[in-house]
Structure 1
Amino acid sequence: MGYDFTLADVEYLASADGVDALGRVDTLELTTRTRLADISWARTRFGDRTAMLVETVLARRKAALKLDGARDWLLTDDAVQQATPAVVAAHRARRLAGRVVHDVTCSIGAELAALVGVADTVIGSDLDAVRLAMAAHNVPAAHLLRADALSPVTRGTTVVADPARRSGGRRTHDPAMLQPPLPDLLDVYRGRELAVKCAPGMDFDALDWDGEVEVVSLDGGVREACLYSRGLAEPGVRRRAAVLRGDGAGFEITDKHDDDIPDRPPGEWIIDPDGAVVRAGLVRHYAAAHGLWQLDPRIAYLTGDAVPDGVRGFRILEQLKYTEKALRQTLARLECGSVEILVRGVDADPAVLRPRLKLRGDRPLSVVLTRIGRTPVAFVCEPTR
Structure 2
Amino acid sequence: MSYTPAEVSFLAEHQEEIASLDLSLTKSSRLKDTEILKEKFGEFGRAVMELVTARSSGKLPSGWLMDADSAQQATPVEVAAYRAAFLAEQGVGSVHDITCSIGTEGYNSPLEYFGSDLDESRVKMARYNLSSAKIFRADALTTTTTAEVLLADPARRAGGRRITRPEDLVPPLSEVVAKHRGKELAIKCAPGLDFSEWSGLVTVASVEGAVKEACLYTPGFGTGRRAVMIRGHKVDVLDDQESNLPEAGDIGSYLIDPDGAIVRAGLVQHYAAREGLHQIDPRIAYLTGERIPEGTSGFPFIEKVPLKRLKSVLKSYDAGSLEILVRGVEVDPDQLRKKMKLKGKKPFAVIITRIGSQGIALLCKPRVSSSEDNYAT
TM-score, shorter chain, exceeding 0.5: yes
- The partner residue of 1:5 within 3, 6, 12 is 3
Partner residue of 2:375? none
Q: Distance in 2 between matches of 1:146 and 1:79?
A: 16
Q: Is 1:257 aligned to residue 242 of structure 2?
A: yes
Superposed displacement of residue 66, structure 1: 1.5
Q: Is 1:27 aligned to residue 22 of structure 2?
A: yes
Partner residue of 1:231? 220
Partner residue of 1:363? 346
- The partner residue of 1:161 within 152, 174, 199 is 152
Encode CA deviations 1:90-117: one digit per residue, 9 max, x unaligned.
Answer: 11111122521100000111111142xx
- The partner residue of 1:328 within 311, 317, 324 is 311
TM-score of the pair, normalised by structure 2: 0.92
Q: Distance in 2 between matches of 1:30 and 1:82?
A: 21
Q: Distance in 2 between matches of 1:354 and 1:187?
A: 51
- The partner residue of 1:51 within 46, 55, 59 is 46
Partner residue of 1:240? 226
Partner residue of 2:81? 90
Q: Distance in 1 between matches of 2:190 and 2:250?
A: 35
Root-mean-square deviation (CA, aligned residues, Å) is 1.7
Partner residue of 1:313? 298
TM-score of the pair, normalised by structure 1: 0.90
Q: Is 1:210 aligned to residue 199 of structure 2?
A: yes
Kept in 2, the 8 Å contact 1:124–1:142? The answer is no
Q: Distance in 1 between matches of 2:125 and 2:141?
A: 22
Kept in 2, the 8 Å contact 1:84–1:110? The answer is yes
- The partner residue of 1:100 within 81, 94, 99 is 94
Secondary structure of 1:377 counterpart = strand
When residues 264 and 37 of structure 1 are mapped into structure 2, their CA distance, relative to the original with a 3 A threshold, is closer
Q: Distance in 2 between matches of 1:384 and 1:376?
A: 25
Structure 1 alignment gaps of length 5 or more: none
Further displaced range: 33-42 or 270-279: 33-42
Structure 2 alignment gaps of length 5 or more: 370-377
Partner residue of 1:130? 121
Kept in 1, the 8 Å contact 2:96–2:147? The answer is no
* Aligned pairs, number: 365
Q: Distance in 2 between matches of 1:34 and 1:263?
A: 54
Superposed displacement of residue 328, structure 1: 1.4
Identity %: 45
Q: Is 1:286 aligned to residue 271 of structure 2?
A: yes
Partner residue of 1:298? 283
Q: Distance in 1 between matches of 2:349 and 2:320?
A: 11
Structure 1 segments of 4+ aligned residues over 6 angstroms from their partners? none
Kept in 1, the 8 Å contact 2:166–2:194? The answer is no
Encode CA deviations 1:19-62: one digit per residue, 9 max, x unaligned.
Answer: 244235x3222322322223223323321121112111222222
